[in-house]
A and B are shown apart, each in its own frame.
Chain A
Amino acid sequence: NAGVTQTPKFQVLKTGQSMTLQCAQDMNHEYMSWYRQDPGMGLRLIHYSVGAGITDQGEVPNGYNVSRSTTEDFPLRLLSAAPSQTSVYFCATGTRQGLRGYTFGSGTRLTVV
């Protein structure tokens, strides 16, 4: 089992560019989510999904889009990158019941210049 796979691991964007961060899981988890991690601010939820075709906003959704067309994939789209989106992004997945917590990907370090 690969678990949760995030690509790319590193990315540098110019202000105004768009890109998609990929998250794929092979654990048949219903719940998938995206967090950003910034120094001193912990983990902040961007978007989450409780199943294919269902997504919802977290704490900091502005500037990001998501979709969930399959159980396995949950891509995060940056529409027009801004320096404030420089961060480390983590995908986290879990079962619907949530009794085992989350499984995290290894992260994508994004720099917007």
Chain B
Amino acid sequence: AQSVAQPEDQVNVAEGNPLTVKCTYSVSGNPYLFWYVQYPNRGLQFLLKYITGDNLVKGSYGFEAEFNKSQTSFHLKKPSALVSDSALYFCAVRAPYGNNRLAFGKGNQVVVIP
């Protein structure tokens, strides 16, 4: 079964500094990987995905993520954080076969300090 680990409960970063949110995964076969963001009292919104191709994928709101197969990681990054990036971030993975069932991590709370 697939699984995701997001090792840090909360990430604090100063506005304007680089932001990194870590994610490692476990799955049989080549993974489909996703990042979602959740603002307070809202549903999850899709940020970006890796299915195949370039290891560096770009998504919404200036976010990007790097797929590293040898380290089974898919860390989310943003070069310069904004206060409005403060939210809960979820990493998710699924196997490339079978049904469309995603496994989510526990989420990382990102706090951007003005």
The answer on a CB contact under 8 Å between A104 and B44 is yes
Residues in chain A near residue B32, CB distance under 8 A: 98-99
Task: Number of B interface residues at 8 Å Cβ cutoff, please give it.
Answer: 23
Nearest residue (CB) in A for B48 is A101
Residues in chain A near residue B94, CB distance under 8 A: 98
A40 to B105, CA, bound (A): 10
Residues in chain A near residue B46, CB distance under 8 A: 100-103
A48 to B72, CA, bound (A): 27
The answer on a CB contact under 8 Å between B99 and A50 is yes
Cross-chain contact of A99 among B51, B102, B105, B107 (Cβ < 8 A): B51
Q: In the complex, which residues 22-64 of chain B have their Cβ closer than 8 Å to any Cβ of chain A?
A: 32, 34, 36, 41-46, 49, 51
Residues in chain B near residue A96, CB distance under 8 A: 100
A18 to B42, CA, bound (A): 25
The answer on a CB contact under 8 Å between B102 and A106 is no
Whether A75 is near chain B, meaning CB under 8 Å from some CB there, is no
Whether A87 is near chain B, meaning CB under 8 Å from some CB there, is no
The answer on a CB contact under 8 Å between A43 and B43 is no
Whether B101 is near chain A, meaning CB under 8 Å from some CB there, is yes
Nearest residue (CB) in B for A49 is B99
The answer on a CB contact under 8 Å between A106 and B100 is no
| Chain B nearest CB, measured from A37 CB (Å) | 8
The answer on a CB contact under 8 Å between A100 and B42 is no
Nearest residue (CB) in B for A103 is B46
The answer on a CB contact under 8 Å between A90 and B49 is no
Whether B104 is near chain A, meaning CB under 8 Å from some CB there, is yes
Residues in chain B near residue A99, CB distance under 8 A: 32, 49, 51
Whether A95 is near chain B, meaning CB under 8 Å from some CB there, is yes
A42 to B107, CA, bound (A): 6
Whether A97 is near chain B, meaning CB under 8 Å from some CB there, is yes
Q: In the complex, which residues 18-45 of chain A have their Cβ closer than 8 Å to any Cβ of chain B?
A: 30-31, 33, 35, 40-43, 45
Residues of B within 8 A of A (CB): 9, 32, 34, 36, 41-46, 49, 51, 90, 92, 94, 99-102, 104-107
Q: Top 6 A-B pairs ranked by shortest CB distance?
A: A98-B100, A42-B106, A104-B43, A43-B104, A31-B100, A104-B44
